[in-house]
């Protein structure tokens, strides 16, 4: 808070805010600023513009960064994701790591080699066919998890009638 703003601020004691006052909590202190409706409107507009600029920059960042290729499949809106409400911390952390590509799949490991491996050559070490080991392959194609995947898909189909009719890419996003 600027010195000039501090001079205009009055510490809230026992008086409740009037319609022309706004309460601001800064560094553990509640300040009462007497603002006209026009100033409150200008502040609200500035906050909204800042949010819009931040969201625009966030969108540009996830579009230009190669590491964000899976994140942008799952995340298109700037809002809290429902998986963040999972109470089991290990499950929530696993979901977060998967979505932001913080894992040990070849798609990420190849990036950190002394001589980085081209993305299209980061093959799954467990599959007989040369397939890029990315998040989609791991969750939707990897043969070792075929049985678990079928169980999971059956459970989802019970909860979501149209799930079985979705194309594989949309099923991946649904997870």
State residue 119's pLDDT score. Answer: 92
What pLDDT score does 5 carry? Answer: 44
Query: pLDDT > 70: what percent of the chain?
Result: 79
Question: Quick one: pLDDT band at residue 73, thresholds 50, 70, 90?
Answer: confident
Give alpha helix (H) positions in 9-138: 37-64, 71-74, 89-99, 106-109, 135-136
Reported as a single tens digit per residue, the pLDDT across 25-70 is 555 555 555 566 777 788 889 999 999 999 999 999 999 988 888 8
Q: Residue 123 has what DSSP assignment?
A: B
Average pLDDT, the chain: 82
Please give the DSSP secondary-structure letter assigned to residue 132.
B
Note the pLDDT of residue 69. Answer: 87
Measuring CA to CA, which residue among 15, 5, 13 is closest to residue 30? 13
Look at 1-10, 53-62, 154-163 and tell me which has the smallest mean pLDDT. Answer: 1-10
Distances from the Cα of 125 to the Cα of 91, 110, 114, 137, 144, angstroms: 25, 12, 19, 12, 12
Query: Which residue has better confidence, 26 or 103?
Result: 103
Res 125: pLDDT: 93
């Amino acid at each position: 808070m600027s010195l000039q703003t501090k001079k205009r601020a009055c510490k809230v004691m026992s008086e409740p805010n009037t319609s022309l006052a706004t309460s601001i909590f800064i560094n553990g202190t509640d300040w009462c600023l007497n603002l006209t409706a026009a100033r409150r409107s200008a502040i609200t507009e500035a906050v909204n513009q800042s949010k819009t600029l931040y969201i625009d920059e966030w969108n540009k960042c996830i579009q230009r960064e190669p590491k964000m290729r899976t994140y942008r499949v799952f995340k298109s809106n700037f809002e809290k994701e429902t998986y963040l409400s999972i109470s089991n911390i290990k499950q929530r952390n696993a979901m977060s790591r998967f979505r932001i590509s913080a894992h040990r799949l070849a798609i990420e490991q190849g990036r950190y080699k002394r001589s980085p491996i081209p993305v299209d050559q980061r093959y799954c070490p467990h599959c007989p066919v040369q397939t890029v080991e990315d998040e989609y392959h791991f969750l939707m194609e990897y043969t070792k998890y075929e049985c678990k995947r079928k169980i999971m898909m059956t459970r989802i189909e019970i909860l979501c009638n149209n799930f079985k009719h979705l194309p594989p890419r949309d099923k991946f996003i649904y997870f």
